[in-house]
């Protein structure tokens, strides 16, 4: 009775690579092209001979399949390990694929744009790129409420004029500004993480708090109580800006990177779809409740 063999065994014989050591050398040569971590991970001798005889319960490991398919272009691992019933001496070539017989490559499931993005309306690779397209004036002018939390809040305190800020407060804008506590240990940790001199971020944050207080000191009696300043001493996670409870700009703080280098999301509240606006609005509210009045 003839020994049962797989297509792999026939193809190896045609290439004079049916010996275990020869096969392992070829395996490593191909592995070097695909992924050097796969070098030396060829099958054991017992596994190899099961591959040749077809004595298998299923396909080998995925990495083994990748190597086999690279060794024999045009064949799948499943085809290579299937028992071969034809002439073992004739040259065997991969099946020709035609438009009629080739199965179409499955396309990834495409979700509707609205479902994929929810209420995220824009994504920028950095704060710098965001502010190149959206100015502080675009963000703040005409807003009736401004809720902002982060580190030093430069976009509000340094990049938007004191006069414009004062005018906004006088015309009814309410501002909640939440700074990372310049006297806390988390701002010191952030300085170390960014590789900045000790006290650098603390000093900048103090200057910004004082600048905002000076604006608050100039408001007329009827507008007092519309500028609120608090500080928090927690790990720095996000810069959050919410205007009119309808638009939210969010940045994560990345390890070892300045805030201006962080990706930026623009989120617009949309009651028709579940999204991120409610999430970050809740984050801000929770942080604000835990925070302390700026001293």
DSSP labels, 215-262: HHHHS-GGGTTSEEEEEE-S---EEEEEETTTEEEEEEPPTTS-GGGS
Tokens of 264: 């930026």
Instruction: Indicate whether 222 belongs to any domain.
Output: yes
| Each residue's pLDDT tens digit, 145-202 | 999 999 999 999 999 999 999 999 999 999 999 999 999 999 999 999 888 899 999 9
- Domain limits for position 65: 7-80
Mean pLDDT calculated for residue range 101-128:
66
> Which residues contact residue 287 at a Cβ distance below 8 angstroms, ignoring those fewer than 6 apart?
149, 178, 232, 234
Identify whether residues 214 and 164 lie together within a single domain: yes
Looking at the domain assignment, is residue 270 inside a domain?
yes
Instruction: Name the least confident of 25-39, 40-54, 103-117.
Output: 103-117
How many domains does the chain divide into? 2
Same domain for 22 and 130, yes or no, is no
What's the pLDDT at 91?
56
Task: Give the model confidence (pLDDT) of 234-252 as tens digits.
Answer: 999 999 999 999 999 999 9
User: In this prediction, what percent of the chain has a pLDDT beyond 90?
Assistant: 51
Report how far apart, in Å, the C-alpha atoms of 75 and of each of 81, 92, 97 are.
10, 11, 11
User: Which of 263, 258, 261, 240 has the alpha carbon at shortest distance from 250?
Assistant: 240
Is the pLDDT at 107 greater than 60? The verdict is: no
Q: Are residues 76 and 121 in the same domain?
A: no
> Would residue 256 count as lying in a domain?
yes
CATH number at residue 178: 3.30.870.10
Q: 10 Å Cβ neighbour count for 222?
A: 9
Last residue of a domain, one of 26, 56, 80: 80
Same domain, yes or no, for 76 and 136?
A: no
Q: Is the dihedral of CA 6, 12, 18, 21 positive or negative?
A: negative
Longest dimension (CA), the chain: 105
Asked if residue 121 and residue 62 are part of one domain, the reply reads no
Same domain, 139 and 279: yes
Lowest mean pLDDT among 16-30, 81-95, 202-216, 276-290: 81-95
Q: In what order do the strands lie in the sheet with 292-293?
A: 120-124, 264-268, 247-252, 238-243, 145-149, 174-180, 227-232, 292-293
Q: pLDDT band for position 89 (50/70/90)?
A: low
What SS3 class is residue 260?
A: helix
Q: What is the pLDDT of residue 105?
A: 47
- How many Cβ atoms sit within 10 Å of the Cβ of residue 265? 19
Instruction: Identify which has the larger pLDDT, 14 or 185.
Output: 185
For residues 181 and 74, state if they share a domain.
no
- Give the CA-trace dihedral at 282, 288, 290, 295, to 10 degrees: 170
Domain identity same for 150 and 46: no
Contact yes or no for 280/269 (Cβ under 8 A): no
Whether 57 and 183 map to the same domain: the answer is no
Are 174 and 46 part of one and the same domain?
A: no
Out of 80, 100, 130, a domain closes at 80
Asked if residue 111 belongs to a domain, the reply is: no
Cα gap 259→153, rounded to integer Å: 10
Q: Which residue has the tokens 């993005």?
A: 117
In a domain, 231, yes or no: yes
pLDDT given at position 295: 58
118 in Cβ contact with 276 (< 8 Å): yes
pLDDT of residue 111: 46
Mean pLDDT of the chain: 86
Enter the pTM of the model: 0.61
- Please check whether residue 95 is in contact with residue 82, taking contact to mean a CB–CB distance below 8 angstroms: no
| Residue where a domain terminates, one of 63, 80, 97 | 80
Residue 102 domain-assigned? no
Distance from CA of residue 219 to its chain's centroid?
Answer: 43
Kindly state the tokens that stand for 25: 């050398």
- Whether 101 is in a domain gets the answer no
pLDDT higher at 4 or 137: 137
Q: Mean pLDDT across the stretch 209-228?
A: 94
Q: CB neighbours (10 Å) of residue 247?
A: 17
pLDDT at position 4 is: 67
Q: Is residue 98 part of a domain?
A: no
Cβ(219)–Cβ(170) below 8 Å? yes
Q: Are residues 17 and 161 located together in one domain of the fold?
A: no
Whether the pLDDT of residue 119 is over 50: the answer is yes
Shared-domain flag, residues 63 and 129: no
Task: Specify the pLDDT at position 115.
Answer: 52
pLDDT value for 144? 96
């Amino acid at each position: 009775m003839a020994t049962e063999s797989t297509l792999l065994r026939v193809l190896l014989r045609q290439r004079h690579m049916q010996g275990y050591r020869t096969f392992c050398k070829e395996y490593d040569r191909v592995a070097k092209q695909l992924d050097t971590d796969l070098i030396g991970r060829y099958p054991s001798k017992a596994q190899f001979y099961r591959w040749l005889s077809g004595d298998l319960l299923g396909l080998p490991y995925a990495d083994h399949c990748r190597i086999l398919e690279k060794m024999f272009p045009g064949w799948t691992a499943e085809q290579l390990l299937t028992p071969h019933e034809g002439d073992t001496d004739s040259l065997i070539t991969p099946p020709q694929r035609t438009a009629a017989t080739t199965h179409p490559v499955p396309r990834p499931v495409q979700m509707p744009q609205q479902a994929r993005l929810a209420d995220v309306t824009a994504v920028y690779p950095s704060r710098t790129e965001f502010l190149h397209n959206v100015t502080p004036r675009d963000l703040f002018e005409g807003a009736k409420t401004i809720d902002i939390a982060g580190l030093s809040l430069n976009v509000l305190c340094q990049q938007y004029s004191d006069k414009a800020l004062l005018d906004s407060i006088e015309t009814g804008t309410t501002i909640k500004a939440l700074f990372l506590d310049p006297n806390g240990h988390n701002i010191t940790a952030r300085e170390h993480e960014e590789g900045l001199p000790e006290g650098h971020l603390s000093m900048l944050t103090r200057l910004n708090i004082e600048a905002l207080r000076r604006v608050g000191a100039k408001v007329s009696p009827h507008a007092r109580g519309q500028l609120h300043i608090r500080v928090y001493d927690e790990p720095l996670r996000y810069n959050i800006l919410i205007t009119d409870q309808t638009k939210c700009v969010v940045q994560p703080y990345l390890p070892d990177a300045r805030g201006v280098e962080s990706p930026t999301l623009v989120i617009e509240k949309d009651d028709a779809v579940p999204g991120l606006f409610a999430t970050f609005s809740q984050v801000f509210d929770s942080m604000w409740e835990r925070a302390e009045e700026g001293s």
